[in-house]
Amino acid sequence: MAKKNQNKLAIKEVQDDVVVFEDGSMVAVLQVHPAETSTLSAAQKRQILAGYRFWLENLSYPVQICARTVNLELEHSLEKYRANVEVAIKKRKEYGDALREFTEFYSWLEQYVQENGMSRRVYYLVIPYLPFFRKKKELKKHTGKVEHMKILRQRITETQQCFKIIGLDTHRCSDKELINLYSSFFTFSLHNEQGYYDTIESCVHTWLGGNT
């Protein structure tokens, strides 16, 4: 993640599948795969809703439930990207080869987005550990990061077990996936079938790999 974007979010580090913030708070993120309700009976649907309600009613800490529609308005983002790059290239004294290469890449990128940029809904559950204090003076005196990680790990395990009983599959985001997820809010991103967000940089690597 770019340093300036990391600073905007006050992120201190991403470690052990946890995002640690400057104020001492930390979060883990689960991607939740919704149940295919079209094949379920009315009784099975009621059972899922009852289990979900039980989980909500027994929470002893705050959570964030996020639904995100990905791959919207990608054409607009691409046009803006192309315009900016072409302006930058044309500022060079000799830009013919660079412009030609970029035109080839952009044609490939348009096709790649068209084939892989299907709009879809993605669901995340953000589980935090929030310290009782948030002031820097108090934070310096405290050395309970390991204990906080342990509490957060326990919350994740309990949640995943509960969701499994309900019938909802979950996947805990790794360090790489967390960085990729947070970065996607600031740069061009194409959510692919593997659950990652492709950036312009990763698309360039894919294109180069196909042209070697």
Letter for the amino acid at 43? A
Distance CA 70, CA 177 (A): 15
> Residue 196 is encoded by which pair of tokens?
């990652």
Q: Model-level pTM?
A: 0.78
- pLDDT tens, position by position, for the chain (212 residues)? 555 555 678 899 999 999 999 888 899 999 998 888 888 889 988 988 999 999 999 999 999 999 998 888 888 889 999 999 999 999 988 888 999 999 999 999 999 998 888 888 899 999 999 875 555 554 554 456 788 889 999 999 999 999 998 888 999 999 999 999 998 888 888 988 777 889 888 899 999 987 64
Contact yes or no for 45/37 (Cβ under 8 A)? yes
Contact yes or no for 131/39 (Cβ under 8 A)? no
Distance CA 161, CA 155 (A): 10
